[in-house]
Structure 1
Amino acid sequence: MTEWFAGLSWLEVATLLGSSFLGSMLTAALGVGGGAFLIAVMADIVPPLALIPLHGIVQMGSNASRAALTRKHIQLRTIAFFLSGAFIAALAAAWLLGRVDPSWIPPMVALFIIWLCWGPIPELGLGKTKVGLFCGGLLTTLATMIVGATGPLVSAWLGRSGVDRWTYTANFSSCMTAQHLLKIMVFGMAGFVFTPWLPLLGLMVLAGFLGTKAGLKILGKLPEARFKSLFKWVLTLLALRLLWLWWRGFSA
């Protein structure tokens, strides 16, 4: 088992697979939130240096499957301008990554999740203009290189007004797929070795695909306001636990 799944136990593997399924289902059904949930769980299991690139692969698989399943609703203009900004951010990320100590990634992820849950993130709706889409791709792609789960920022940037749920899901999933792909390429060029993780990643991507299909079946049927309130507290508790584990190790 350990030689196939980078030394992880059966329980850890099962936890990661379940989290991938649940995170994808939540994002497909509610529009956002699954990536933050997944990275909060992964941060407690995988090494800090591997957290962001591994999360990126799983999320790329999840978003790509969601984009494929909603491809009839994709607005290519939105994706093109977002991707132009994201590409420039990827070029700058190699310089950024070399200046971040991996041991500080878990607490930064935890604090970012708490801000996503309780901080002010208005629906910017800047994705309605070419410049807005370009800036969104640039800034959120830079952020994802450090904290990973920037789905809520991309969602706020694109805005939900003026489009139906299916078009929003298609655009959001396509933008996130492109963003995660660029992140994986940057980490690969920086020297991260994905090979020991491939069997686990393959299963997590499959679990994410199944979660996406389940989530799309209940799209628009969940009581969104009540569920999102409960989900915020779950994410907050996961983030606080991550901070506590990091502080215990840091001060030991």
Structure 2
Amino acid sequence: MTEELFVIALGCFLASIVNAALATGGIYIMLAATTAVLPVNVAIPMQTVLALPSLIGRIYMCRRDINWQITKMFLPMAVPGSLIGAGVFVALDDGIMAIALGLILLALIWLVPKGISFGNPRRFLLVGGLHGFFGTIFGVGLFLQPAVLRTEMTRMQITGTLAVCLLGLDIVKSASYVSFGFNYLDYLPHISVAFVASFVGTVAGGHIATLIPETRFRILFKWLITLVSIRLVLKGASILAAG
């Protein structure tokens, strides 16, 4: 238990620094930390509550820069997408889920096409539905972050808008997981240490945001997530082979 708490606290601390400094990316670190010490079918529902302190902190820091038009387009379709995704989540085998998550992370890091513009807020209706569905199944969405990064918003606008959209979706996702039998009370120690670590990380990330060499970070970050993804695929394959 002590090792689990330490790994999760460290993961949430680092994830919050990355999120506060670069607007997005911390989810991959949280997934890496939680899947290292928890089963995949526990780690995925835990993402919604572990992310709360970081999201709230980013919303407060960027409260004057939030693009509410995008938020209003995103959330109405994200809600039904999440509810449908929760039904699919509970039906998936743990091994298949690990392999699928690993492959999705690899695709997100290496295969997301460039040059796609999302300047029209109405396009976020579709983004919301797709992100809500896949984000609930795999813990990490495929569409919102790339879409927001392809707008003309500033870094502060992107950070605040992403945080509001994800907070609203995470509330729905948590309710969906609970409705299918997941009990967050079983993991109160994990949630408690994550909250403290995330708040500290968010404050630290806000202070060092302008000091990070973003190009170098993105290269290292890609390879870190690549290794995490390969580990998940191998873990899923071993689970299926053992079964």
If the length of structure 1 is used for normalisation, what is the TM-score?
0.88
Determine the C-alpha separation between the residues in 2 that align with 1:79 and 1:161: 13
* Superposed CA offset, 1:148-182 (max 9, x none): 122x6312112354222111111011111112111
Relative distance call for 1:160 and 1:135 in structure 2 (3 A) is same
Q: Does 1:15 align with 2:10?
A: no
* Number of aligned residues: 242
Structure 1 residues 26-41: aligned runs within 5 Å: 26-41=18-33
Select the residue among 128, 131, 153 that pairs with 1:140: 131
How far apart in 1 are the matches of 2:129 and 2:53? Answer: 21
Letter in 1 for 2:230: L
User: Could you tell me which residue of structure 1 aligns to residue 99 of structure 2?
Assistant: 107
Partner of 2:228: 238
Query: Quick one: which of 218, 221, 233 aligns to 1:228?
Result: 218
> How far apart in 2 are the matches of 1:230 and 1:22?
14
2:69 is the alignment partner of 1:77: yes
Change (3 A) 1:40 1:190: same
Kindly report which structure 2 residues correspond to 1:148-163, keeping only aligned pairs within 5 A, or say none.
148-150=139-141, 153-163=143-153
Tell me if structure 2 keeps the 8 A contact 1:127–1:133. Answer: no
Structure 1 window deviating more from structure 2 (118-127 vs 62-71): it is: 118-127
**Distance between the aligned counterparts of 1:179 and 1:228, measured in 2?**
26
Q: Distance in 2 between matches of 1:104 and 1:73?
A: 40
Q: 1:114 to 1:195 in 2, by over 3 A?
A: same
Distance 2:205 2:69 in 1: 26
Q: Which amino acid aligns with 1:173?
A: A
Query: CA separation in 2, counterparts of 1:99 and 1:250?
Result: 15
Give the alignment partner of residue 16 of structure 2, picking from 24, 47, 61. 24
Match of 2:40 in 1: 48
Whether the 8 Å contact between 1:160 and 1:168 is mirrored in structure 2 is no
Contact 1:125 1:161 in 2 (8 A): yes
Asked if 1 retains the 8 angstrom alpha-carbon contact of 2:12 and 2:50, the reply is yes
Could you say if the C-alpha distance between residues 215 and 125 of structure 1 is closer, same or farther in structure 2, counting changes exceeding 3 Å? farther
Contact 1:128/1:158, CA 8 A, preserved across alignment: no
Gaps of 5+ in 2: none
Q: Deviations over 1:124-148 (max 9, x none)?
A: 4426322x11111110110111111
| Partner SS state of residue 111, structure 1 | helix
C-alpha contact 2:116 2:150 (8 A) present in aligned 1:
no
Q: How far apart are the structure 1 equivalents of 2:149 and 2:203? A: 23
- In structure 2, give the amino acid aligned to 1:37: I
Q: How does 1:185-204 map to 2 (within 5 A)?
A: 185-204=175-194
> How is 1:82-101 mapped onto 2 (pairs within 5 angstroms)?
82-101=74-93
Letter in 2 for 1:157: A
- Deviation, 1:101, is 2.3
Contact 1:24/1:34 (<8 A) preserved: yes
**Ranges of 4+ aligned residues in structure 1 off by more than 6 Å:** none
Identity score, percent: 25
Separation (CA, whole Å) in 1 of partners of 2:128 and 2:94: 24
State which of 103, 108, 116 in structure 2 corresponds to 1:116.
Answer: 108
- Paired residue for 1:174? 164
Residue 94 of structure 1 and its aligned partner are, at CA, apart by 4.2
Q: Is the Cα–Cα contact under 8 Å of residues 124 and 159 in structure 1 kept in the other structure?
A: no
Q: How many Å separate the matches in 2 of 1:14 and 1:98? A: 28
Deviation, 1:43, is 1.1
1:123 shift after superposition? 5.8
Tell me if structure 2 keeps the 8 A contact 1:123–1:157.
no
